[in-house]
Amino acid sequence: MADVASLINGVSELVRIPSVNPLQSDDAALTGERRLAEHLANKASDLGAEVELDNVVDDRPNLIAKFEGERPDTVVIDVHLDTVAVAHMTDDPFDGRVENDRVYGRGSVDTKATFAIVLDVLSQLKQEGRRPGPTVHLVGTVSEEMGGLLGARHLATRLQHDGHDVERMVIAEPTMCAPVHGHKGGVGLEICVHGHAAHSSRPELGANAISAAARIIAALDAEQTRLEQTEAATAVGRGTLSVTEIGGGVARNIIPDMCTLYAGRRIAPGEDPLSIYESLRHLVVAAGAPLQVDVEMANGTAFPAFFTDPNDDFVQLIANLSERTPETVTYGSNCLAYDDLEASKVLFGPGSIDQAHQAVEWVDIDELVRAASVYRKLFAA
């Protein structure tokens, strides 16, 4: 039985440790994952875990805490350490207050709650003089919210290099405690159109980069229209394409010599992200002609979709423990970085994605209790 007060206090405690993704804020007092990783490392060490802080980039370490089980089978629980920015929040983002049967604050639902829950369940087992059934690897990863999933990619490379036989993985996200078995992958295109400046009274002397960018946007929109006509192969749905950023022009009387765009392509199961990137790159360059158009892959990587058969044994186990039906979701997660690992993977966590990234973020206490019940059964199963 979950100690509700302990769960609440655990979430509030973690919310009060800012860990905003450094790419989303330049406030050093709020950014970076190290403080949270060190705090969690101390708590895990106190519970008897083998703990390591594995630096990924710029003094931003992954946390790896190994809790030895009674059996040889393993389960890896990946919870990202970073949160999104807080400048748009309308209340104190880090007070961790409790009101209306909810815990409030940045990271409460996305995804610090899972850290608190897992540690609380393992603490209860320790107090009972027991170890978890499987060996539990609680991992905190950096750079999930922005930066190309660097922490998860680093972990995946390490697991493969060290020859770890990972059988089951839980990737923490707010899923209302339903096991999620699929979501889209993605590839981003960073586009730069090069024109030639001239006085706006003599446009024929210049080459308008914004006009070329408009042709590119029209071509990408046409591709999205084509995608809308295709049939989805799985419950995850079809691929999509959106232009979400544009910048260009220096003055109202100067023909712009440069325009930048960002386009994101969501990848459906069965689609090859590298082939899609190359196809879109050719489309963009052709649409921007005769101007020079440079195209780069955002973060230098492209992710295939995450998809596990809903009848997979681990997905069904979590479904039975949570009494929830397997689902798919529209958002992405660290699952994308683990495509080359043969482990059974499931997305799972308390609360709703609708509360994530909001001006007011919160998680229902009932969801904390429900998720704790699932983890306790999982660790004993």
Angle at 327 between CA 107 and CA 138, to 5 degrees: 45
For residues 303 and 336, the answer to whether their CB atoms sit within 8 Å is yes
Taking CB atoms within 8 Å and a gap of at least 24, the contacts of 85-89 are 85/20, 85/21, 85/24, 85/25, 86/18, 86/20, 86/25, 86/30, 87/25, 88/359, 89/359, 89/360, 89/361
Give the Cα separation of 343 and 202 in Å (integer). 62
Taking CA atoms, 330 is separated from 42, 267, 359, in Å, by: 35, 11, 21
Across the strands, what pairs with 207? 196
Instruction: Give the whole-angstrom CA distance, residue 10 versus residue 5.
Output: 8
- Write the burial class of residue 31 (CB in 10 Å: 0-12 exposed, 13-18 middle, 19+ buried): buried
- Per the CB < 8 A criterion, the answer to whether 288 and 215 are in contact is yes
Backbone φ, ψ for residue 213 (5° rounding): -65, -35
pLDDT value of residue 166: 87
The one-letter code for the residue type at 349 is G
Tokens 């997660």 identify what position? 333
Closest alpha carbon to 241 in 230, 225, 259, 254: 225
Residue-by-residue pLDDT tens, the chain, 381 positions: 668 999 999 999 999 999 999 999 999 999 999 999 999 999 999 999 999 999 999 999 999 999 999 998 999 999 999 999 999 999 999 999 999 999 999 999 999 999 999 999 999 999 999 999 999 999 999 999 999 999 999 999 999 887 777 899 999 999 999 999 999 999 999 999 999 999 999 999 999 999 999 999 999 999 999 999 999 999 999 999 999 999 999 999 999 999 999 999 999 999 999 999 999 999 999 999 999 999 999 999 999 999 999 999 999 999 999 999 999 999 999 999 999 999 999 999 999 999 999 999 999 999 999 999 999 999 996
The position carrying tokens 């306790």 is 376
50 contact partners, CB below 8 Å, separation of at least 6: 65, 66, 68
Q: Read out DSSP for 200-216?
A: TT-GGGSB-HHHHHHHH
* pLDDT value of position 381: 62
Instruction: Quote the pLDDT of residue 1.
Output: 63
* All domains of the chain in start order, with CATH: 4-183+305-380 (3.40.630.10), 185-300 (3.30.70.360)
What CA dihedral angle connects 362, 365, 367 and 369, to 10 degrees?
150
Instruction: Write the single-letter amino acid at 164.
Output: H
Is residue 101 within 8 A of residue 364, CB to CB? The reply is: yes
Nearest alpha-carbon partner for 212 in 191, 232, 230? 191
State both tokens at 204: 């024929």
Q: What is the largest CA-CA distance in the chain?
A: 82
The answer to whether the CB of 343 falls within 8 A of the CB of 169 is yes
